[in-house]
Amino acid sequence: MELTGPIVLSDNRYGKAENRIVRIYRDSARHEIRDLNVSTVLRGDFADAYVSGDQSKVLPTDTQKQTAYALAKKPGVQPVEDYALALAAHFVDETEPVHSARVEIEEFAWQRVAVGGLEHDHTWVRQGPEVRTVTVTVAGKGVEQRAWVIGGVDDLVILKSTGSQFADFLVDDFTVLEPTNDRVLATAVNARWRFAATSGVAWDEVYAGIRTAMIEVFATRHSKALQQTLFDMGEAALEAYPVLAEVRLAAPNKHHFGYDLARFGIENHGEVFHAADRPYGLIHATVSRQDAPPAGPAWEP
Amino acid sequence: MELTGPIVLSDNRYGKAENRIVRIYRDSARHEIRDLNVSTVLRGDFADAYVSGDQSKVLPTDTQKQTAYALAKKPGVQPVEDYALALAAHFVDETEPVHSARVEIEEFAWQRVAVGGLEHDHTWVRQGPEVRTVTVTVAGKGVEQRAWVIGGVDDLVILKSTGSQFADFLVDDFTVLEPTNDRVLATAVNARWRFAATSGVAWDEVYAGIRTAMIEVFATRHSKALQQTLFDMGEAALEAYPVLAEVRLAAPNKHHFGYDLARFGIENHGEVFHAADRPYGLIHATVSRQDAPPAGPAWEP
Amino acid sequence: MELTGPIVLSDNRYGKAENRIVRIYRDSARHEIRDLNVSTVLRGDFADAYVSGDQSKVLPTDTQKQTAYALAKKPGVQPVEDYALALAAHFVDETEPVHSARVEIEEFAWQRVAVGGLEHDHTWVRQGPEVRTVTVTVAGKGVEQRAWVIGGVDDLVILKSTGSQFADFLVDDFTVLEPTNDRVLATAVNARWRFAATSGVAWDEVYAGIRTAMIEVFATRHSKALQQTLFDMGEAALEAYPVLAEVRLAAPNKHHFGYDLARFGIENHGEVFHAADRPYGLIHATVSRQDAPPAGPAWEP
Amino acid sequence: MELTGPIVLSDNRYGKAENRIVRIYRDSARHEIRDLNVSTVLRGDFADAYVSGDQSKVLPTDTQKQTAYALAKKPGVQPVEDYALALAAHFVDETEPVHSARVEIEEFAWQRVAVGGLEHDHTWVRQGPEVRTVTVTVAGKGVEQRAWVIGGVDDLVILKSTGSQFADFLVDDFTVLEPTNDRVLATAVNARWRFAATSGVAWDEVYAGIRTAMIEVFATRHSKALQQTLFDMGEAALEAYPVLAEVRLAAPNKHHFGYDLARFGIENHGEVFHAADRPYGLIHATVSRQDAPPAGPAWEP
């Protein structure tokens, strides 16, 4: 097929990615820390920059960086969702060519250390691998302006050593997998939840509560497949927080293969496993409230 | 806001990610190698697996793996696009609950080594960091079946030491960046191009040709901004191959900051740079033919 | 300079790296998990394999893998140090050409999840980024056999938001750094401690105790430089456990630069920082007991 | 065992790691690029900084950074070995407490792009994954000063699809590996070669020549094991360049397992492989001239 139509710019966006902002609150002897990776993305009237090289409507990505650091002082980053909303609104409100702004934040957790059994005022150790995420989109000027907040977690690595099966699946000519009624189930949950509100939410508490709800259902409910477990986790989050409109989950099945020790005359009843790297199953699920408000541009990258 | 509607599964998909398949063609003394990372994703009638744990319609991800390796023997992976089309069609054709299948492939390049100035028959060194990508979607059964092919490249790292400026941009209260009329421009191009056809294309030649077209325009056309350069690169690809419907580009601005040596009484006229890691500008552009056929599900993840 | 002497094999070793062994203890309803990355290295009478290709004295790395998994069942990996000693001794005792064996283990930590406030029997979440390490060397046959144990931690990422200075340093023509009396001090501690014994040590307790001792001194002692802080941490470990012969520490100075907001009329008194990636200071220290027994081959790679 | 002796600092060193220096030569229209990752390490009279926090003899790592960038302008980085020698000597010569300095450099390769078949003046694409390394040590003041140069390569990924076997190895109770007379042999060579001279060497030519010598022997000589192949590669480098004193090689055996397609009635005669991630064999060899001059501190980290 030969296309002959004119060549056009059909979509564009740009921003500054991965500003590594660390904010210390030191108003009292007991300091607080928020450790962020902040990315900003602007959409708007930027076609000239691409098509003719005219930069007159382009706010430099360096300026976006300066702004991200400046607003980390005031209004500050506590809670992170309000910071993201303020930063995104700043670009839309103060920069004429910007139609919408997206702020994506990873927050790295730090745990206050104990000294002699007491929490220390200004020392922490990093906790991971899990990372909390916040994604905010602000679109429109003045009274037309709307906003969306998506929370999330990446790399919540979780494992159960029993209470998981995989059997009674479809079989074809290439199926050699044996069904199993007792296996290790391990994954690294990547989840995103869309809020139906942008204010009046106890952001930090809700994050902790969703995490707990998902972990508890993973632990306690028997798994017939990772698919079922993901659905259950999304459902648990929605049930726990009616302010949530939908939850999107992506989870690798981190295979733990029982190691064949029978060759050596050794019994292995679910005790010795090889943790494989690649390939891995990859399961996606979206769980929603049927009365969820429209997502608008919330999920646009 | 409190949502009270029923909780439902609104979307799902699953597959086997990152099968590391290496295929050697050894029909003659001069071997050929194709080194692939193959991921498969299925969509279809899988809701029961999520909602009630019923796996009877689920083709195991292990079976998807076996199939990917089996089809690498025959029909083989030469060219990769035809392999991806065959593998995706296999799942849709042979597995009743599957409505559509997506196959995503990374191909790692190997360069035949020279021995005494002559190409060796069966030894290669890896070339990188750039990676060729192929993404195929096959949807629908029988005469309804349709297919889409997207080619691409990741991490084509390219740098020009002059012929790039950034000036006359928008200025606000947080703008401290100085305009420059001569800078290093470096990026790692990630591009995807959608074909308007699924057969009759010389896949390997077109890949090489698009790569050359993009590199040549990067090298020779003066850059007023990375935005402009990306548009030019997408346009060049479309102009070179009328079978292309659109090109999507994402490119970090890998900042090279001129190092301040004046403090030490040393002149630095664009000679010594610090290559920064983070943050970085991140620019996106989509360049299209206006008469491009509809994308359908081609870009769905 | 032109060398004309004969070319010889002057050193060699080989092994199987990164066996990802997960061991579940399920003798009661309350399971236990140990998640390991096990590497084995053999030294011995292997020159023929290199020089003439004669493999008759080479125990395949595949066999080393099988052995690592088999011994993970019995004697098991609880504690990891005893497993490493048994695995290394197995190779030396059972394989005639092996003169010495080294086993290097990374252990990944899992935290038992809470459900309704109670610890769950068989579900955990991964904890990181820190990784516990164990390195064992066993050399010699029969009564000549000796062994060494080195414990350690990698990527113990720790940060204090005050109580750190860097001033009164050496100044030369290239010194532009300003002294500071209040800065963020952050690092990722990589430490190794050599034990003066191979038995009679409460390995898991000692690991936890060394970690606590190092963290407490990092938190509470004012730092004049990362050098001083590392020495203090090593000293604290040695003081806490007289069974330790020496501690080797390597620590990047993860620079947190106060962000210049004065340009925007905003005060920044140690509140907003940029966490830099590269370059970074890198400090090494070895702290020893003067009456430490000889290290022998303990530190040989 | 309880140790009671005094606790002392027994070894130390410090420096600035990973300065990402890009040097453009633009004296003519045809530019040249050298892209470096430079780390500096100092040893000397620094005990007070560790033990008592006295920084008066400590040259800040920030100053080391400034110096690395300044010397990249002049004398410049062409060839890299001379730059490393000059930078290391600078620290020893100009900073009284420094007894020895080590400079470690990774060089990333760029290939000049072609435009219309002709090499372009100022545009390149990155080549990898292989990285050239240079390590220089300068020790001692004035006429006592000595220097050592080590060249090397990391991640030279090389594969042969035939001409490799592994058979007639030692067998024990845990050996299940089948011997093979035709397999894929793949590795990522990490090599270091110590020069017997620090001047009068055509550094860039010798690097290219060693690389070629190693590749040619890998390609053409039948392999009875990776051990033998590594020895052959080291020997070939030493034979090609009498200025080399020794070569140290470390190479993972990147296993390519023939995929079992017989289960599906499909023949697989060394055509379809699974490229495994972990575990992997890891082979080390040191090949030396017997009349090599002493290594001194050349290999100290």
Amino acid at C261: L
CA distance to A86, A193, A211, A241, per residue, from A205 (Å):
20, 14, 10, 11
Contact A263 D176 (CB under 8 A): yes
**Residue D163 backbone phi and psi in degrees, to 5:** 80, 25
Contact C173 B278 (CB under 8 A): no
Q: Which pLDDT score is estimated for D282?
A: 98
CB D37 within 8 A of CB D108: yes
Q: Does B265 touch chain C (CB under 8 A)?
A: no
From B10's Cα to the closest Cα of chain C, the distance in A is: 28
Task: Judge whether D6 lies within some domain.
Answer: no
Same domain, A151 and A289: yes
Task: Judge whether B28 lies within some domain.
Answer: yes
Q: Which of D65, D90, D254, D255 is catalytic?
A: D255
Same domain, B130 and B168: no
- Please state, as a whole number, how many other Cβ atoms lie within 10 Å of the Cβ of residue C141: 12
Task: Judge whether A191 lies within some domain.
Answer: yes
pTM equals 0.98
Please say if the pLDDT value at position D1 is more than 90.
Answer: no
Same domain, D127 and D195: no
Mean residue pLDDT of chain C comes to 98
Q: Does C12 touch chain D (CB under 8 A)?
A: yes
Q: DSSP assignment, residue D299?
A: T
Measured distance CA(D133)–CA(D154) in Å, rounded: 7
Measured distance CA(A191)–CA(B10) in Å, rounded: 15
Considering only CB atoms, which chain D residues are within 8 Å of B33? 159, 161
Measured distance CA(D171)–CA(B66) in Å, rounded: 31
CA distance to A21, C273, C275, per residue, from C258 (Å):
10, 4, 9
Q: Which pLDDT score is estimated for A240?
A: 98
Considering only CB atoms, which chain D residues are within 8 Å of A255? none
ipTM score here? 0.97
Question: How sure is the predictor about C1, in pLDDT bands with cuts at 50, 70 and 90?
Answer: confident
Please say if the pLDDT value at position D288 is more than 90.
Answer: yes
From C174's Cα to the closest Cα of chain B, the distance in A is: 7
Q: Which pLDDT score is estimated for B1?
A: 79
Task: Judge whether C177 lies within some domain.
Answer: yes
Indicate the SS3 state at residue C126. Answer: strand
Considering only CB atoms, which chain A residues are within 8 Å of D264? 173-174
Same domain, B178 and B121: no
C101, two tokens: 């064996």
- Got the DSSP string for B100-141? EEEEEEEEEEEEEEEETTEEEEEEEEEEEEEEEEEEEEEESS
Please say if the pLDDT value at position C156 is more than 90.
Answer: yes
pLDDT in tens, chain B (301 residues): 799 999 999 999 999 999 999 999 999 999 999 999 999 999 999 999 999 999 999 999 999 999 999 999 999 999 999 999 999 999 999 999 999 999 999 999 999 999 999 999 999 999 999 999 999 999 999 999 999 999 999 999 999 999 999 999 999 999 999 999 999 999 999 999 999 999 999 999 999 999 999 999 999 999 999 999 999 999 999 999 999 999 999 999 999 999 999 999 999 999 999 999 999 999 999 999 999 999 999 999 9
Three-state SS for B28-75 is CCCCEEEEEEEEEEEEECCHHHHHCCCCCCCCCHHHHHHHHHHHHHCC
Q: DSSP assignment, residue B166?
A: B
Please say if the pLDDT value at position D82 is more than 90.
Answer: yes
- Please state, as a whole number, how many other Cβ atoms lie within 10 Å of the Cβ of residue C278: 18
Q: Which of C176, C263, C278 sits opposite B263 (nearest CB)?
A: C176
Task: Judge whether B4 lies within some domain.
Answer: no
Same domain, A248 and A110: no
Considering only CB atoms, which chain C residues are within 8 Å of D54? 168, 224
The residue from A104, A138, A172 where one domain ends is: A138
Considering only CB atoms, which chain C residues are within 8 Å of B176? 263
**Residue B220 backbone phi and psi in degrees, to 5:** -100, -25
pLDDT tens by residue, C79-113: 999 999 999 999 999 999 999 999 999 999 999 99
Asked if D61 is an active-site residue, the reply is yes
The residue from B144, B178, B209 where one domain ends is: B144
From A71's Cα to the closest Cα of chain D, the distance in A is: 28
- B-D CB pairs within 8 A amount to 187
Task: Judge whether D301 lies within some domain.
Answer: no
Mean pLDDT of D119-126: 98
Q: Does D23 touch chain B (CB under 8 A)?
A: yes
Same domain, C164 and C301: yes
Mean pLDDT of D16-45: 98
Chain C 72-91, residues with CB within 8 Å of chain D CB atoms: none
Q: Return all residues near C164 (Cβ < 8 A) that are at least 6 apart.
A: C182, C183, C184, C185, C222, C223, C229
Contacts of D among chains (3+ CB pairs under 8 A): A, B, C
Same domain, A20 and A62: yes
**Nearest Cα to Cα of residue A256 among A159, A141, A154:** A159
CA distance to A183, A295, C16, per residue, from B46 (Å):
22, 24, 41
Contacts of B among chains (3+ CB pairs under 8 A): A, C, D
Same domain, D190 and D229: yes
Q: Which pLDDT score is estimated for D158?
A: 98
Measured distance CA(D158)–CA(B126) in Å, rounded: 6
List the CATH number of the domain containing A37.
3.10.270.10
**Nearest Cα to Cα of residue C272 among C251, C257, C291:** C257
Domain that holds residue A201: 145-294
- The parts of chain A modelled with pLDDT lower than 50 are none
Q: Which residue is associated with the tokens 């952001």?
A: A203
Task: Judge whether D230 lies within some domain.
Answer: yes
Bridge partners of B39, per DSSP, are B104
Task: Judge whether B3 lies within some domain.
Answer: no
Contact D279 C18 (CB under 8 A): yes
Same domain, A103 and A159: no
- Domains in chain C, number: 2
Same domain, D35 and D96: yes
| Beta-strand runs (E) in chain D | 7-25, 32-44, 98-115, 118-139, 146-160, 185-195, 244-253, 256-258, 272-275, 280-289
Measured distance CA(B107)–CA(B93) in Å, rounded: 26
Same domain, D214 and D133: no
Same domain, B206 and B107: no
The residue from D117, D138, D159 where one domain ends is: D138
Mutate to test the interface with C, among D38, D61, D222 (most CBs of C within 10 A): D61
Q: Which of C31, C61, C99, C286 is catalytic?
A: C61
